[in-house]
Amino acid sequence: MTDVDWDDELVPDDGGRTRAPELDCPVEVALAAISGRWTTLVLRELMSGPLSFGELRDRLPALSAKVLTDRLRELEARDLLERRTLRGFPVRTSYDLTACGQALRPLLIELYRTGNTLAVLRQDLGR
Amino acid sequence: MTDVDWDDELVPDDGGRTRAPELDCPVEVALAAISGRWTTLVLRELMSGPLSFGELRDRLPALSAKVLTDRLRELEARDLLERRTLRGFPVRTSYDLTACGQALRPLLIELYRTGNTLAVLRQDLGR
DNA sequence: CCGCATCCGATTGGATACTG
DNA sequence: CAGTATCCAATCGGATGCGG
C-alpha cells in the first residue's frame, strides 16, 4: 500500500506530515500564536511600536481588562512580546513585540488578503 | 484629537479599521474559515481533490466522526466546500472544495511558513 | 494606573452508542 | 458507508469587584 501523496507546496517537509494536530507542526505553531479572540487586534496595535496597558485599552475599548491580560500573558509566554514595568507612580507598563512577534506581520497581511478574496468570491456567487 | 495612525500594510482599507472583532472584517472572515481544531488538516487533505467521508477518516484516523461532520458542515455553510451524495449502495459522498475553498491555499502555505520561522527564531533564543 | 480574583454561561471537542 | 444522538468534561470569554 502506497502512502499518501503529499502536496509539496502545502507540506514542503516532514514537519507538516501529520495526521493530527501536533503541537510541533508549523501550522499549529502559527495558529497557536494568533489563537483566541482579540489576539490579532492586539497584535495589530503593537505592530507599529510598544504600547502601555492603558493605551491598548483606549484603542480597543470593548476589550475587558481580564481578556487583555490573558492575551498579553499568552503572547509573552510564547516569546511574541516583552513586558517591561517602568518605575514611577503610577506604574507604567510597556508591551513591545519581540522579533518573533514581528515575524507574524506577513501572516496578518495574508489573513487580510485572504478574507478580502473570500468576500469578493462570495459576492460573485450572489451572497 | 487625531485618530489612530493606521499601518497601510496591515490595514490597507476601511475594512480593517475596526476596534473590535467584527464579523465583516477581512481578518475575521479568514480566521472564521480556518477556525476549529482539525480544520486546517481537513482543508489540507481536500486541497488535492475531492474525497469521501471514509477517505477523510482514513487519512485522519484520530478525528472522530462527530467532529469531522461538524467541520464539513461548517465549511459547507461557508461555501468553502461542496457536498455531493452519490447514488448507489452503499451510499458514497464526495466532498470537494469550491473556488472559495481553494482560495485558502496561500493562507495555509503562509501559516506553515510563519510557524517554521517562529520555530527557527525560538531556537536562536535557546528554547 | 495596572492589573488579579472570582464567578458564570456558553461553546467546544471528544467518547460512545445507534441508524438509513 | 455515512452519518445522527447523547452526554460530558474542559475551556473560553465576559462581567464585576478588589488590591498594589
pTM of the entire structure?
0.96
pLDDT at B2: 52
Chain A hits for B118, CB-CB cut-off 8 Å, are: 29-30, 33, 100, 103
Measure the CA–CA gap between A109 and A119, rounded to whole angstroms. 16
Amino acid at B36: G
B112 close contact with A: CB closer than 8 A: yes
Q: Does the nearest atom of strand D lie within 7 Å of B87's Cβ?
A: no
Of all nucleotides, the one whose C1′ comes closest to residue B92's CA is D1
DSSP helix/strand/coil, B29: helix
Q: How far is the CA of B66 from the C1' of D7 (A)?
A: 13
Residue A41 to residue B62, Cβ atoms within 8 A: no
Check pLDDT > 70 for residue A1. no
pLDDT in tens, B22-77: 999 999 999 999 999 999 999 999 999 999 999 999 999 999 999 999 999 999 99
Closest residue by Cα to the C1' atom of nucleotide D20?
A91
Neighbour-count burial of A95, counting CB atoms closer than 10 A to its CB (0-12 exposed, 13-18 middle, 19+ buried): buried
Instruction: With cut-offs at 50, 70 and 90, classify the pLDDT of residue A2.
Output: low
Please report, rounded to a whole number, the percentage of residues in chain B having pLDDT higher than 70.
98
Measure the CA–CA gap between B54 and B86, rounded to whole angstroms. 14
